[in-house]
Amino acid sequence: MTVHYFGEGNSLLNQFVAEIRDIEIQKDPMRFRRNIERIGEVLGYEMSKALSYGNKTVQTPFGTKEISLPTDALVLCSVLRAGLPLHEGLLHYFDRAENAFISAYRHHHGDEDAFEVIVKYFAAPSLGGKTLILTDPMLATGKTLENVYKALKSHGSPKQIHIVSVIGSKSGIAYVKKIFPENTHLWIAAIDDKLTSKGYIIPGLGDAGDLAFGVKL
26-52 per-position pLDDT tens digit: 999 999 999 999 999 999 999 999 999
CB 1 within 8 A of CB 182: yes
Burial zone of 213 (CB within 10 Å; 0-12 exposed, 13-18 middle, 19+ buried): middle
Instruction: Please answer whether residues 6 and 13 qualify as being in contact, where contact means their C-beta atoms are separated by less than 8 angstroms.
Output: yes
- Digit-coded pLDDT (tens) for 48-79: 999 999 999 999 999 999 999 999 999 999 98
pLDDT of res. 45:
97
Q: Which residues pair with 80 in a beta bridge?
A: 103
The CA distance from 152 to 122, in Å, is 9
Which residue segments constitute the domains of the chain, with CATH numbers given? 2-51+69-213 (3.40.50.2020)
What pLDDT, on a 0 to 100 scale, did the predictor assign at position 63?
A: 97
Q: For residues 66 and 150, what is the distance between their CA atoms, to the nearest angstrom?
A: 41
Q: Which residues pair with 69 in a beta bridge?
A: 54
- List of residues 6+ apart from 121 with CB closer than 8 A: 80, 101, 102, 103
Q: Can you give the pTM of this predicted structure?
A: 0.91
Instruction: Give pLDDT < 70 ranges for the chain.
Output: 105-119
Residue pair 215/192 in contact (Cβ under 8 Å)? The answer is no
pLDDT score, position 120: 73
Within 10 Å of residue 55's Cβ, how many Cβ atoms? 9
d(CA 19, CA 150): 33
